[in-house]
Amino acid sequence: SKVLIYPSHADSFSISILNSLHLKTKVVAYDIPSLRDIYGNIPAIKFVKEYDTKNMAKAIVEVLKEDEKNYFKAFEDPATIEFLNKTSDPLMLFNAISTIIDEAIL
């Protein structure tokens, strides 16, 4: 797959987006606050205004038209590399999410 289409209106942390990035699959998603906070500086993710299906389709077409060099350039970005390194260890990711949940319920 070359692009994950993620039209979620309510999400907190998308494992499918994370998995897609680790598989070097770009993502087109609605620009909702939680996704923007987590993935906002990752150039492999294109955000479009929520409910803007026309621009979502345009963003998907742009990704599909990219040549291989430009497509993979987004995954060579330092912010992307750092993010993928931080999220590549399942135990580290589990601990980070557990900490957030613990803080929220205490």
pLDDT in tens, 8-17: 988 777 789 9
> What pTM was computed for the model?
0.81
Residue 41, phi then psi, degrees to nearest 5? -105, 15
Residues making up the chain, counted from first to last:
106
- Strand 26-30 and strand 3-6: pairing? parallel
CA distance 87 to 10: 22
Average pLDDT over the chain reads 90
- At residue 86 the predicted structure's pLDDT band, cuts being 50, 70 and 90, is confident
pLDDT at 61 over 90: yes
Higher pLDDT, 88 or 82: 82
Residue 14 tokens, joined: 């998308």
Residue 54 tokens, joined: 């026309």
Give the chain's radius of gyration (CA, Å): 14
